[in-house]
Structure 1
Amino acid sequence: MTSTAAVTPSAETSAVALERLRETVPLVQSLTNIVSANYLTNVLLAAGATNAVIDNPHEAAFFAGIAGGVLVNLGTPTDFQAAAFEEAARTAHEKGTPWVLDPVGVGGLPWRTKLAAELLTHRPTAIRGNGSEIAAVAGLGGEGRGVDSAADAADAVPAALALLDVAGAVSASGPVDYVVGRVGDAPQTVRVLGGSDLLPRVTATGCSLGALSAAYLAVADPFTGLVAAHAHFAVASELAAQNSAGPGTFAPAFLDALASVTPDDLRRSARIERVIA
């Protein structure tokens, strides 16, 4: 059973989570797609974690038992990888390793939509996707445009709240990110503002956010950790955009910014608001 947040996630709880992440350097097991593996690994290293791409069914279960956090990303799944997803998710749930489901392309592609539904039986610690993906995983529609969202993140909040029956926290990403979780027994929603419009113009940034979420879940409860990952991304991307001429210069600048952001930067600059229904 995943723990719940003691207080509503905030800039302060995000700063404390970053302090813990840098102190412990959690090891993430990434079962991810061929497009994202390199950049995703660099994001984790820059932020203060580390990564191992262990995505075959012979080793996935063993590694899920020793990793600090696990990412299951459905970006370019094969039958071989799908078997590894199952092994890693099952073992992570059994061993208490926090794991993140990133349902890339779910809703518009039937096979991976079915695969995502099967993985939900292993109760992900967190689910992170765009608005269309979150709606689709919840069974509430949500056909995206390939891997891009056709829905606003705010519109996916009811679907995200419904998914709290099987996950500890859920986020829908967009120009404004919405994250839902529980504080005690009560469901709550927060929005994380900020970020840069250059993020979606660089491949693998969304997948990297899923991996960073897995790292934060190794040091914080699901709601706090998921919000902290989004806040770290938002503040770093704003800093990187100040020194970028476009997507090509933004990609390395973002890695530098992830590394340079401090807990005090999150305290000063993270914009996290509770949403009152």
Structure 2
Amino acid sequence: MISPSEMRKRITETPPLVHNMTNVVVTNFTANGLYALGAKPVMANAIEEVAEMAGHADALSLNIGTLTSEQIEAMLTAGKAANKAGTPVIFDPVGVGATSFRDQTAKRLLAELDVDVIRGNEGEIARLAGIAVTVRGVDSEEPVENAEEAAIQTARTFSALTVMTGETDIVTDGETIVYINNGHALQSSVTGTGCLLSSVIGAFAARGEQLFDAACAAVSYYGCAAEKAAADKTIGPGTFQVRFLDELALISDDDLSRLCDISERKQVQQS
């Protein structure tokens, strides 16, 4: 499996252009995070230009955090252009389960587009798997039982690599599975850390030969940067956010090697 350090090197040597159709809450943070990583962000949402932009981007990240009907049509247009160009598409189903509009939108995007990676938290992935979860706003209110099974089912249902983030992150294609134990609790106190991760996965996917390995490297890299940023136990969410952006740019190869905690890939038991 390729290391986070090697993937970072590839990104900084040949910066991928990541087209982000994301929510208004996290646009600036996402752009800054991708710049810190060494990638190039672009935020284009107008239906008049998204097909052209997605066609020459290296990855497309679709995020339904602040949905509008116009944005849905633009996402479909961009996604189809990305599919035609062979560009990896990352889908972040923010708050799915909170409203019927979000549920319907997620189903439509996943039905009409070839999505390469679905990245969500436990509640979002469980909802896509057909498991009932209680969602208020964009956050599920209870832990998900059998989270691993939910991730596997989502990957199989939508034929997409599924990244479920939580205390232990899970990456699965429905046939094999990897567990990643990197990250820090302060990530859940800053708006947009999950959304940025989806775009970071896009950057890694654009420069990796194997999508599964690239996604694992992205999740571990991201978590290692968070651990470094939170090393000072006295900081709060505001300081963490700034330090996290710094660590996305500055974390050393030695620290990545020391902190990286990716399990061996194992076969999933067939049901």
TM-score (norm 2): 0.90
Percent identity, aligned pairs only, is 36
Per-residue deviation, 1:157: 2.2
In the other structure, the counterpart of 1:106 is: 96
Instruction: Confirm whether residue 162 of structure 1 aligns to residue 162 of structure 2.
Output: no
Q: What secondary structure is seen at the aligned counterpart in 1 of 2:130?
A: coil
Q: Where in structure 2 are the equivalents of 1:131-146 lying within 5 Å?
A: 131-146=122-137
Cα distance, 1:254–1:215 mapped onto 2, change above 3 Å: same
Gaps of 5+ in 1: 1-8
- Of 69, 73, 80, which residue of structure 2 is paired with 1:83? 73
In the other structure, the counterpart of 1:188 is: 176
Matched residue type, 1:175: E
Q: What secondary structure is seen at the aligned counterpart in 2 of 1:75?
A: coil
Gaps of 5+ in 2: none
Mapped to 1, the partners of 2:106 and 2:39 lie a distance apart of 26
Per-residue deviation, 1:179: 1.0
- Of 137, 146, 171, which residue of structure 1 is paired with 2:163? 171
CA-based RMSD of the aligned residues comes to: 1.9
Q: Tell which deviates more after alignment, 72-81 or 220-229.
A: 220-229
Matched residue type, 1:236: A
Mapped to 2, the partners of 1:32 and 1:247 lie a distance apart of 22
Per-residue deviation, 1:109: 1.3
Mapped to 2, the partners of 1:206 and 1:151 lie a distance apart of 18
Cα distance, 1:264–1:25 mapped onto 2, change above 3 Å: farther
Per-residue deviation, 1:150: 3.8
Instruction: Confirm whether residue 200 of structure 1 aligns to residue 192 of structure 2.
Output: no
- Of 199, 208, 211, which residue of structure 2 is paired with 1:211? 199
Which structure has more RCO (C-alpha within 8 Å, separation ≥ 6)?
1
In the other structure, the counterpart of 2:140 is: 149
Instruction: Confirm whether residue 94 of structure 1 aligns to residue 90 of structure 2.
Output: no
Matched residue type, 1:159: A
Q: Where in structure 2 are the equivalents of 1:105-124 lying within 5 Å?
A: 105-121=95-111, 122-124=113-115
Per-residue deviation, 1:159: 2.5
Contact 1:107 1:142 in 2 (8 A): yes
Q: What secondary structure is seen at the aligned counterpart in 2 of 1:274?
A: coil
Q: Tell which deviates more after alignment, 168-177 or 149-158.
A: 149-158
Mapped to 1, the partners of 2:116 and 2:145 lie a distance apart of 21
TM-score (norm 1): 0.89
Cα distance, 1:142–1:91 mapped onto 2, change above 3 Å: farther
In the other structure, the counterpart of 1:66 is: 56
For residues 108-150 of structure 1, the C-alpha deviation after alignment (integer angstroms, 9 at most, x for no partner) is 2111111111111212110000111111123333343321234
For residues 138-193 of structure 1, the C-alpha deviation after alignment (integer angstroms, 9 at most, x for no partner) is 333334332123454773322222233434411111121111137xxxx2111111
- Of 224, 241, 261, which residue of structure 2 is paired with 1:235? 224
In the other structure, the counterpart of 1:268 is: 258
Cα distance, 1:188–1:60 mapped onto 2, change above 3 Å: same
Per-residue deviation, 1:53: 0.3
